Amino acid sequence: MEVTRLVDGPIVSPQTHHSIGHNIQGPSLIKVPDWVATPLGRYYLYFADHKGSYIRLAYADEITGPWHIHPPGSLHLPESCFLTEPPDVNDDELATIERYMDAVGSCLPHDIKTEIATPHIASPDVHVDHHNQRIIMYFHGLDGLATQLTRVAFSSDGISFTARSEPLARPYLRIFDYDGTRYGIAMPGQVYRSLNGVGAFEEGPILFERNMRHMAVVVRDSTLHVLWTRVGDTPERILLSTVDLKPVWTQWSNEGEVEVLRPERSWEGADAPLEPSIRSVAYGCLNQLRDPALYIENKRTYLLYAIAGESGIGIAEINW
């Protein structure tokens, strides 16, 4: 495998437009289908603020840019079917959760209440459904105290989305199809199989360790390639593991672990202190790459990723 950065700098950063803020992560790229009337551009790039109130939207005519921001974004928290106000939490509940976090060795960059009670939506995973002429977005949000789940939303234009109330899966769900069936994998490697092609997910095995953060997936022949990052790595970087899909899905397991990409440019955070990563929001410029996403067009595989923690989005090409 060879990975080549296509642009020596982020394709989206806080300087792209003031409306998107300084926390930029969770990219998902699609080519706008020709049945969408008057698109903003040939490509739509969805992304988020880790604790943000709406899914951001950028558009461009070329994958490498220039990318422009659609300031209103796409899906917003009030239309997401997730909580829009912080849930109630008392001191005893906070103390119980803090003891659990201490027991498992989890560190946070902010107070525990911010982590478990901030309404938000993030981690879009967007797919084009040509048969039904709709764009499907899987995304996660806060569904209760310390409870994040995934829901799905649909759009005819890629801008205005309507969410379904049905909770589907754990957060950070990534979808893939194999042998005529739709599957998903969510943090930390929880596998799902869809009974209807959109939702109604049933659980299968958990393939990864609890410190798995986010992932991207692509099926090549009968192998699922999983690009992922791990909380606690120094630096946090993009890894690759594979899953043989030929066995019964309940018997899948991951194999191997190789490094794909680490911070090597200043804009990727390479000049920041080398420290183990921690969970949740990345504040400021950190020596980390996060949130890999894959986009395939004309047999070319593009890798998008969050740079310098969560400070922007970079793009590279993978030659298998």
State mean pLDDT over 92-115.
Answer: 89
Q: Looking at residue 106, what is its pLDDT?
A: 83
State mean pLDDT over 138-155.
Answer: 98
State mean pLDDT over 150-161.
Answer: 98
Q: Over the stretch 213-241, which tens digit does the pLDDT of each residue have?
A: 999 999 999 999 999 999 999 999 999 99
* Residues contacting 128, CB < 8 A, separation 6+: 30, 31, 33, 135, 136
Q: Looking at residue 75, what is its pLDDT?
A: 99
Structural tokens at position 82: 């997730």
Q: How confident is the model at residue 285 (pLDDT cuts 50, 70, 90)?
A: very high
Of 98, 1, 30, 58, which Cα lies nearest the Cα of 320? 1
Question: H/E/C letters for each residue in 128-167?
Answer: EECCCCEEEEEEEEEEECCEEEEEEEEECCCCCCEECCCC
- Return the domain boundaries, the chain: 2-319
Q: Over the stretch 63-88, which tens digit does the pLDDT of each residue have?
A: 999 999 999 999 999 999 999 999 99
Q: How confident is the model at residue 197 (pLDDT cuts 50, 70, 90)?
A: confident
Q: For the chain, how are helix, strand and coil distributed in percent, rounded to 5?
A: 10, 45, 45
Average pLDDT of the chain, as a whole number: 97
Of the given ranges (92-101, 110-119, 126-135, 311-320), which has the lowest mean pLDDT?
Answer: 92-101
Q: pTM higher than 0.75 for the full model?
A: yes
CA distance 87 to 313: 32
> Which fold would CATH assign to domain 2-319?
Tachylectin-2; Chain A (2.115.10)
Q: How far is CA 136 from CA 66, 91, 156, 174, in A?
A: 25, 40, 9, 12
State mean pLDDT over 250-255.
Answer: 97
3-state secondary structure of 285: strand
Q: Looking at residue 78, what is its pLDDT?
A: 99
